[in-house]
Amino acid sequence: MKIPEIFKQAIADTFYDKDIEIWTEGTIKDEEGSVIENGKVEKIDSFKGNFQFSTREYIQQEYGKEIEANAIVTCDKTIGKIGNILVYNNNDYTIKSLITGDSHTTILVLRGA
């Protein structure tokens, strides 16, 4: 079924009220090439979305996958990929799965991974 754009916009206006960023993940090195830390390297996307904590059991039941995740993010679209870092409310989460539907994208994330 094709979802009309006006309906997609109504969903976004109603539910997508959280500021979310997507960052690439990698190793940060100093000028001499020594590893300083692993983590966020470059911000590649920012958008409004819906964020909710969940259980691994619920995620497996709802999405039919054994995914180690503890939160679900929905948005209209993102360029994020599995392994990128999703930032919400000053906390970092690793993207574990992306599920694209007709009206939205679901991102399953794990905090502290």
- Note the helical H segments in 1-113: 5-15, 56-63
Q: What are the residue ranges spanned by the domains of the chain? A: 5-111
CB neighbours of 32 closer than 8 A, spacing ≥ 6?
A: none
Residue 113, pLDDT > 70, answer no
Question: How wide is the angle at C-alpha 93 spanned by C-alphas 97 and 96, nearest 5°?
Answer: 15
Residue 101, pLDDT > 60, answer yes
pLDDT of residue 1: 67
CA 27 from centroid of its chain's CA atoms: 20
E strand segments, 30-104: 35-53, 71-75, 85-88, 91-100
CATH architecture of 5-111: Beta Barrel (2.40)
Cβ atoms 99, 63 nearer than 8 A: yes
pLDDT tens for 28-87 read 777 887 877 777 889 999 999 999 999 888 888 888 778 889 999 999 889 999 999 999
CB neighbours of 74 closer than 8 A, spacing ≥ 6?
A: 15, 16, 49, 50, 104, 105, 106, 107
For residue 106, how many other CB atoms are within 10 A of its CB? 18
Separation between Cα atoms, residue 62 and residue 101, nearest integer Å: 14
Residue 95, pLDDT > 90, answer yes
More confident residue, 34 or 20: 20
